[in-house]
Amino acid sequence: MLNRAGYSFLPVLPPTASASHPAPSPARAPQQGNPQPSVRLAAPRAGTVHPLQSQWQGSASQTERPPSQSVGRHTTILDMVKWDTRQNVDLVGNVLVLGHESRAHDPRLRNTGGSPDPKIKLTLDTGTLSPADARYGEMMGKQAAVNMLQNTVRRYDLHGTPAAQRIHEICDWLGDPRSRMTAGVLGDITRDVGELVHAQETRDLGPSRAPREAKRMPMECMTHLGYAIRDMRHDARPEHRQFLNELGYETMDRVMQHKLSPDETRDWLRQVDSDCRQAGLEGLGKLVKRLRHDIPASADGYETRLHDNIYGRAMESVLIAELVRDPPANVKQGMSALALHLDLTLKTLPRQAQQEVALQVQGMMRHERRGWQANSPELESFFNARPEQALGALKRLLRAPMDNGFDCIAVPYVTVKMSLCMQAHGGAPWMGRANRNYADVVGHAAARLTEAAPNSNRMAPKSGITMHHQPDIVGGREAAMHPGDRNRPNLEQASPELHTALEHGVSFVSGVSGSTNIVMHMVGDILDRGGQVDPKDALLGTMMFLNYDGGHSMHEALWVGKQLDRSLDLRMGMPGGDPRNFVADYDRFIESFPQAKGRDQLRAAADTAWDKTLDHFGQHSHYSPENR
């Protein structure tokens, strides 16, 4: 076990890789909630010179080296930040990090037996050391990492925090003689601990009360206005109450309709300013004027702010959470129809193929557990089923009644995975068209970048599409990694659909939805075969899953529904026109449902969502009077 107090001689470790006998790809430090380390497959590319490899060749260029490669008594893991960059690590991700004592910083101590501040120099394994020296170097490298981690706890006073707990787990992992600290592992440790320290420091400091100089996005300003109107209504004089009520409804409607481009919002606020002053509400008029001036003239250059969209994400998250809490009866019926079709399609496969599909779907689920899945008993039973019981558990899941909203959202979740797995066995005939549509349309429109590896710092017991750095508004049963926290917009190669969405205040979570593409193609297959399912109910249920699961906004599902409405003859009544210019109107979507199919329930969910979003503003915004 490594000595956390300082340098020490350690038990002999397994031999390191050499040029003639490469070791298997070393394991990475385990992710939180996953005790089994994953495998890093990246390897150095021949003929390239990498910043971390420059030391092998004696490069004198300081710009090619990490900012700190020597570990002393005060070095923290944050001093190794350059080991956390993909550019720095990917080429040598599976190369072991070695350490050796260095006193070169003080020439007077080179030939002495001790130093008041011994340092460990970190290098990469070139495969030229003797086995004994390589083992000792690996031991010293891991010891240096433990020292840095312990220095980090002391330097940032992390005792008793989640960061300290995670550091303790990493130190234990490094202390295992079987653990191999590669450049990739050190990069992962640096990233994970750095984010934890940053999060802890942010919590300790609290929000700054310094004046804000940056422009504000339309959704922020509309939420601020909605909050102010609601606050004024409590004590409003009778002659003002109707005006405030109507203005409050109009503010919410514009948000729901995504009439949130900078120019149209500024124009509308100019008129509201005039109306407020004519109504004798001078104070509200001054606020509206200030909000109008806070909005930039154009969305250009504000893409990252528009992507953040804290209140748009909060509102959608609550709206969908309300539907999952109490799902409309027609959604239950729609999800039952999807589950039945999956069951019938599975039956068409040979028994052995059915068994393989069940195990493959189960394996995909186990790769990344969902925080909500325990609320659906049959889904959880399938997840935990033994291999010989997996197929039976899957069939019970598909045949189970929709007792709650989690049973409903489990169906599109399983639909996507089963469709992919059955396709490999000659099943899921809808996947041919779905794959072509994804390749030709959806994939290009999505314009997303994805971080494949789970990030333990972004696991949280929440639901919905709020981002990992934002305050939660919908809690969850257990911590999980959410798809939207590993996806971000590809702004360097943005699609027209991405530009349109951000400009109109739409929440970008993962871009237009490939999962919706699969589900709606299956809906088309059901209808083509004479089956019974309401496509709009299926779309709503899919939207509920994607949003609650943290993977997509409602717009990103509706975009695909609109794109497929005519090509699959779904007859959902989606608006026509070029999909590249489509901006989801949530009001219109809600009103398209008859009263008998949940319209009032959807409207109530939207009202609750807006009200809780205003509460969210009051609790967290710098501009809220509650925070002064």
DSSP conformational letter for 182: B
pLDDT for 200: 83
CA distance 128 to 18: 7
Q: Strand 487-489 to strand 448-450: parallel, antiparallel, or no bridges (unpaired)? A: antiparallel
Q: What is the pLDDT of residues 332-362, one digit of tens each?
A: 999 999 999 999 999 999 999 999 999 999 9
Q: What is the pLDDT of residues 525-555, one digit of tens each?
A: 999 999 999 999 999 999 999 999 999 999 9
CA distance 5 to 588: 64
pLDDT for 103: 61
CA distances from 28 to 31, 169, 397, 454 (A): 9, 13, 35, 12
Mean pLDDT of 283-300: 96
Of the listed ranges 182-191, 268-277, 353-362, the least confidently predicted one is 182-191
pLDDT for 31: 46
Q: Which residue would you say has higher pLDDT here, 88 or 298?
A: 298
CA distances from 118 to 6, 135, 331, 568 (A): 11, 20, 67, 71
* Residues contacting residue 523 through CB under 8 Å, at least 6 positions apart: 338, 533, 535, 538, 539, 568, 570
pLDDT for 453: 67
CA distances from 97 to 83, 179, 187 (A): 11, 12, 11
* Residues contacting residue 97 through CB under 8 Å, at least 6 positions apart: 122, 123, 124, 125, 138, 141, 145, 181, 182, 183, 185, 186
Contact 196, 78 (CB under 8 A): no
**5 pLDDT more than 60:** no
Count other C-beta atoms under 10 Å from residue 121's C-beta. Answer: 20
Mean pLDDT of 267-285: 97
pLDDT for 27: 41
Q: What is the pLDDT of residues 466-514, one digit of tens each?
A: 998 899 999 988 888 889 988 999 999 999 999 999 999 999 999 999 9
pLDDT for 454: 66
φ and ψ at residue 309, rounded to 5 degrees: 40, 55
Contact 580, 497 (CB under 8 A): yes
Average confidence score pLDDT of the chain: 86
Rg of the chain in Å (alpha carbons): 28
CA distance 379 to 128: 53
Q: What is the pLDDT of residues 41-94, one digit of tens each?
A: 333 333 333 344 443 344 334 444 443 478 888 888 888 766 665 566 667 778
Q: What is the pLDDT of residues 122-162, one digit of tens each?
A: 888 888 889 999 999 999 999 999 999 999 999 999 998 88
Beta bridge partners of 489: 448
CA distance 339 to 33: 30
pTM, full prediction: 0.77
pLDDT for 73: 85
**278 pLDDT more than 80:** yes
pLDDT for 161: 87
pLDDT for 213: 81
Percent of the chain that is helix, strand, coil (3-state, to 5): 60, 5, 35
Mean pLDDT of 160-173: 91
CA distances from 516 to 193, 415, 450, 552 (A): 36, 10, 18, 10
Of the listed ranges 85-94, 160-169, 272-281, the least confidently predicted one is 85-94
**18 pLDDT more than 50:** no
Contact 32, 166 (CB under 8 A): yes
| Cβ density class 535-558: b for 16+ within 10 Å, e for less | bbbbbbbbbbbbbbbbbbbbbbbb
Q: What is the pLDDT of residues 191-219, one digit of tens each?
A: 889 888 888 887 777 666 677 788 999 99
Contact 125, 98 (CB under 8 A): yes
pLDDT for 102: 74
Contact 471, 512 (CB under 8 A): no
**14 pLDDT more than 70:** no
Mean pLDDT of 300-324: 97
- Helical spans, DSSP H, in 156-281: 162-175, 183-205, 218-233, 238-256, 262-278
Mean pLDDT of 220-247: 95
Q: Which residue would you say has higher pLDDT here, 47 or 253?
A: 253
Q: What is the pLDDT of residues 374-413, one digit of tens each?
A: 999 999 999 999 999 999 999 999 999 999 999 999 999 9
Mean pLDDT of 571-581: 88
The residue with tokens 């995975």 is 417
| pLDDT tier at 190, thresholds 50, 70, 90 | confident
DSSP conformational letter for 623: T
pLDDT for 423: 96
Residues comprising the chain, all counted = 628
